[in-house]
Amino acid sequence: MNLSELGQIIAQNRKKLKITQLELAQNTGISRVTLSQIENASVNEIGINKIILLCELLGLEIIAKPKNIRPTLQDLIKERNNHD
């Protein structure tokens, strides 16, 4: 996953929860402009703690796993079910 994909996921979930950029920014202590830059992948630098907080408030989690391992069939089914 890259910053662009992460920003899209944050924006999609924020909109799904009907939260404005301003409301989410105020709840995380970052500026609305910074949140907009995260969602559009144009932010210069952002700390992981801010990303974790954004994800927590949106009901998301960050998972680190080895990049080169192909997902199992069970992983793909679980991922598909989580997106439905």
Distance CA 76, CA 18 (A): 28
Matching residue, tokens 């939260």: 19
Classified as helix, coil or strand, 55 is helix
Q: Provide the residue-wise pLDDT of the chain in tens; the chain has 84 residues.
A: 788 999 999 999 999 999 999 999 999 999 999 999 999 999 988 889 999 999 999 999 988 877 767 778 888 888 888 876
pLDDT of residue 68: 67
Distance CA 38, CA 74 (A): 31
CA distances for 48 relative to 45, 78, 80, angstroms: 10, 26, 26
This prediction has a pTM of: 0.75
pLDDT of residue 72: 83
